[in-house]
Amino acid sequence: MENKKGLGMMWILITLGLSWLVFAMWEKFPVIKDTVNSALDPTLGVLLKWNFYLGFVIIIAGTSFILTLSQKYLSDQEELRELRREQKILSEEMKKYKDHPEKLLELQKKQFEFIPRTMELTMKPTLYTMVPIILFFRWFGPNLSPVFGGWWILWYLVGTLIFSSIFRKVFNVA
């Protein structure tokens, strides 16, 4: 089982490294930039040209929808729900023993045991979506910066939080 965890973490690190490599090589290797532009300009670029702000909102909703579905279908939802139930019970116990430092320390150690498993379950969908999202963000920058400046990322994150919470409720994602 330990070998499987190490292998999973290795794939996460490889994907993360590949994503950053793509991000860094965007300007140095025009083939990356040109390929992404040729795919996204006639599709998502049309939305931004049609109505910039509404197109931006539609794109945010679309990416949130895709990422929410990937979270739902590429992770073990039942196991995530069970882990969250156990964490909630543990949190309630910690509130009971807040005046007993030794018991609280023991409960905190149990709480830390949940972190690797939760991370493993929630990072699996990231393996499949990280590189496309990095490419998407690199395309977004030059297309949104003239209107939003560097603040487009903030607007994107706020929109993603809103749409993701809606989609997570609708699709019952853990």
Domain range summary for the chain, segments of one domain joined by +: 2-170
pLDDT at 6: 62
Q: Going by C-beta distance under 8 Å and a sequence separation of 6 or more, which residues neighbour residue 164?
A: 64, 67, 68
Q: CA–CA separation, 61 vs 40, rounded Å? A: 16
Quote the pLDDT of residue 138. 86
pLDDT of residue 2: 53
Q: For 6-161, list the strands marked E by DSSP.
A: none
CA distance 93 to 57: 42
State percent of the chain over pLDDT 70: 95
Task: Please tell me the number of Cα atoms within 13 Å of 61 on its side-chain side.
Answer: 8
The count of residues in the chain is 174
Residue 171 contacts by C-beta under 8 Å, 6 or more apart in sequence?
68, 69, 72
| Spatial contact of 80 and 121, defined as CB atoms under 8 Å apart | yes
- Looking at residue 28, the DSSP 8-state letter turns out to be T
Q: Give me the pLDDT at residue 4, please.
A: 60
Helix H or strand E encompassing 171: none
- Radius of gyration of the chain, Cα coordinates, nearest whole angstrom: 20
The answer to whether 152 and 140 have CB atoms below 8 angstroms apart is: yes
Reading the chain (174 residues) residue by residue, the pLDDT tens digits are 455 666 667 777 888 888 888 888 888 888 888 888 898 889 888 988 899 899 999 999 999 999 999 999 988 899 999 998 998 988 888 888 778 788 888 888 888 888 888 888 888 888 888 888 888 888 888 888 888 888 888 999 999 999 999 999 999 998
Please check whether residue 104 is in contact with residue 94, taking contact to mean a CB–CB distance below 8 angstroms: yes
What is the predicted pLDDT for the residue at 5? 60
Note the pLDDT of residue 3. Answer: 57
Query: For residue 157, what are its two tokens?
Result: 């994150």
What pLDDT sits at residue 72?
A: 92
On the CB side of 165, CA atoms within 13 Å amount to 5
pLDDT for the residue numbered 60? 94
| CA gap 146, 141 in Å, rounded | 9
